[in-house]
Chains A and B, each alone.
Chain A
């Protein structure tokens, strides 16, 4: 029982430390052009990598995930609204689930 909480404490502190260290030590604007550019591109690459192909396995049907991906791409291109795109993907998965 106590061992679980100690384990949780150790891992939670480790994870918080990973997040905190840059905030403690990176206090000035970064001058290095490469590093600035790198950090600018990080979110696009990270989110793209996380989205595909993971979206295909997010449901129990790859087809539904694929349809959600295409619908999400189109909706994000046309409207770009966070909530609309997210809901569109959910609805598409639901509909594909009904049909197949």
Chain B
């Protein structure tokens, strides 16, 4: 990536700019969602749901495994209690992701955005949002979500309407787009940090074992994700705690000044940066700008320092 384009982009990133970058980064998610939700639409049709019902479901839930569970429950005519408990279990990982993403929010952000961002929490949108350097601009998440959910809803409706018309090779090819994206998020940090590389390898191996070992084989994929995430990330946090930020008490958003924390941020940020989004820059003073979404006061501050 040329430093020239970075400096151009870094001068000002407005809410609209973040939204646009989000929409761009949402494209691979949209493709993957389209393929997955197409299958979802076919499944919905099989239990007697129509296109409108399927559309409402996809728009309000935006949860792959959760929706497959929902379709099954509706098909089986399940009771309310069962619907609630099953939804809680299958979607519990979103709770962890929400917890994680709260730490990326600017305390000065309009608190109503919390309601909006909560809607956007899916594995993929979370993955992109959490890997932004510094504070998360809500409009970045909204941009990703708009494109992704559009693909999700359109795919669902088409699945209901045209059923099995999509050629197999198309759905096959689209089906792996999301996994490619996951790899692009977790591998570049693993390249720099061997502990993360080990973590990724152990996670994949454990996940694989859970699908073949006798007793645990029956565990659903949603539950498998929760159990392995809790156990592996929990142990990793004991073995290798991330450096604590000594000055984190002053909540003025200048954590970029602390090199210990910076090293870790960089790892998590890298996939987004190398994706050509020019979100980040290696100099701390520019980072200050990106943390202020309205931008203006940060620029002034910077000028004042000179």
Contacts and interface: CB of A to CB of B under 8 A. Distances in A.
Nearest to B121: A19
A7 B81 CA distance: 11
- Chief secondary structure at chain A's binding surface: helix
Interface stretch (B154-162, B165-173, B296-304): B165-173
B53 interface: yes
Interface residues of A, number: 76
A70 B271 CA distance: 18
A40 B264 contact: yes
B281 interface: no
A4 B70 CA distance: 10
Contact of A86 (B31, B63, B93): B31
Contact of B172 (A20, A42, A48, A97): A97
A75 B181 CA distance: 11
A43 B127 contact: yes
Interface stretch (B9-17, B145-153, B241-249, B287-295): B241-249
Interface of A: 4-5, 7-12, 14-16, 18-24, 26-27, 29-31, 33-55, 58-61, 64-65, 68-69, 72-73, 75-77, 79-94, 97
Closest 8 CB pairs of A and B: A89-B180, A76-B187, A37-B237, A48-B203, A22-B98, A12-B60, A80-B188, A86-B180
Interface of B: 25, 27-28, 31-32, 49, 53, 56-57, 60-61, 63, 66, 70, 73-74, 78, 80, 83-84, 87-88, 91-103, 107, 114-115, 117-119, 121, 123, 126-128, 130-131, 168-169, 172-191, 196, 199-201, 203-204, 206-208, 211, 221, 224-225, 228-229, 232-234, 236-238, 240-242, 244, 248, 251, 264, 268, 270-272, 274-276
26 contacts: A7-B73, A7-B78, A8-B70, A9-B60, A14-B83, A16-B60, A21-B95, A23-B115, A24-B114, A39-B96, A41-B236, A42-B96, A43-B100, A43-B126, A44-B203, A49-B228, A49-B232, A50-B123, A52-B208, A53-B208, A59-B175, A60-B168, A73-B187, A82-B128, A82-B185, A97-B172
